[in-house]
Amino acid sequence: MSKHLVRNTVFATVTVLLFYFAQGAAVVMGQLEGLKAIAAQATIIWSCALVAIVFFLIKDHSLKGLGFRKPVSGMAVKFLYYIPLIVVALAAFAGGIMFDNSGLFIPNLIFTLGIGLTEELYFRGIICNMWKDNETKAIIISSVLFGLSHLLNVMGGAGLAETLLQMAFAFTYGVVMAFVILRTQSIWPCILLHAFHDFCGFITIEGDMKMSIIVGTIQFVVLLGYCIYLIVKLRRENNDRSL
């Protein structure tokens, strides 16, 4: 295992986690709510993405190595046009949509686009692509780190059981996103799908515990089924090409 790869992976992970800690701390320490909280968080999250973008533009004079390119033609059909991921995101609407906070629609959209860009940029664009010479390692390492990053939710007041479930969901989601970027060679589907998923969650009415468990279970089952499908289908294609 290359020490260079390990060092860069740790550096990328620590960088994104520091920014995420900062956006949470800014809200708590500043006692921010509503639009002010979203604005502060969005500013820090977008800054995190900008740091990586500027770094790689200076280093490589291009962002293609991070996946900022057109997806490989014909790959969408192999991913079932990402319909399972769209279903998982829309399932959050089972509890209803928050229309009373319509003034936060655009701020939430900007914020969730920032989340999608930043998380996909660091965990898939940087970390997953760094290990892409070994697809299995690339998928596992990027997904495990993505799952572990959700431990920060505990600091935000989330319960341990809830956080562990979120970590399991994030790991599975990470596996799917890793397959997407490695096979399409583009980070754009990852960013847009991730942002759409988070945006749906942000504008959803939080239901009671029973409803949350039912919706969460449906989302995870669909995601896990999709993940297994991709593993079987895409691995089989690899084996066929090697014959």
Q: Alpha carbon 79 to chain centroid distance?
A: 17
Expressed as residue numbers, the domain containing 29 is 3-242
| pLDDT tens per residue across span 73-109 | 999 999 999 999 999 999 999 878 876 666 788 999 9
Q: Give strand pairing partners of 204.
A: 97
- Domain count for the chain: 1
| pLDDT tens per residue across span 102-154 | 678 899 999 999 999 999 999 999 999 999 999 999 999 999 999 999 888 76
Please report the DSSP string for 59-94 in residue order. Answer: HHS-SGGGT-SPPPTTHHHHTGGGHHHHHHHHGGGG
**Nearest of 43, 7, 13 to residue 123 by alpha carbon:** 13
- DSSP structural state of residue 134: S
Q: Are 40 and 27 in contact (CB under 8 A)?
A: yes
Q: Is residue 156 over pLDDT 70?
A: no
What confidence category does residue 243 fall into, taking pLDDT thresholds of 50, 70 and 90?
very low
| pLDDT tens per residue across span 8-59 | 999 999 999 999 999 989 998 999 999 999 999 999 999 999 999 999 999 9
| pLDDT tens per residue across span 175-204 | 999 999 999 999 999 999 999 999 999 988
How much is the pLDDT for 155?
Answer: 64
Q: In a 3-state reduction of DSSP, which class is residue 105?
A: helix
Tokens 């515990």 correspond to 209
How much is the pLDDT for 159?
Answer: 74
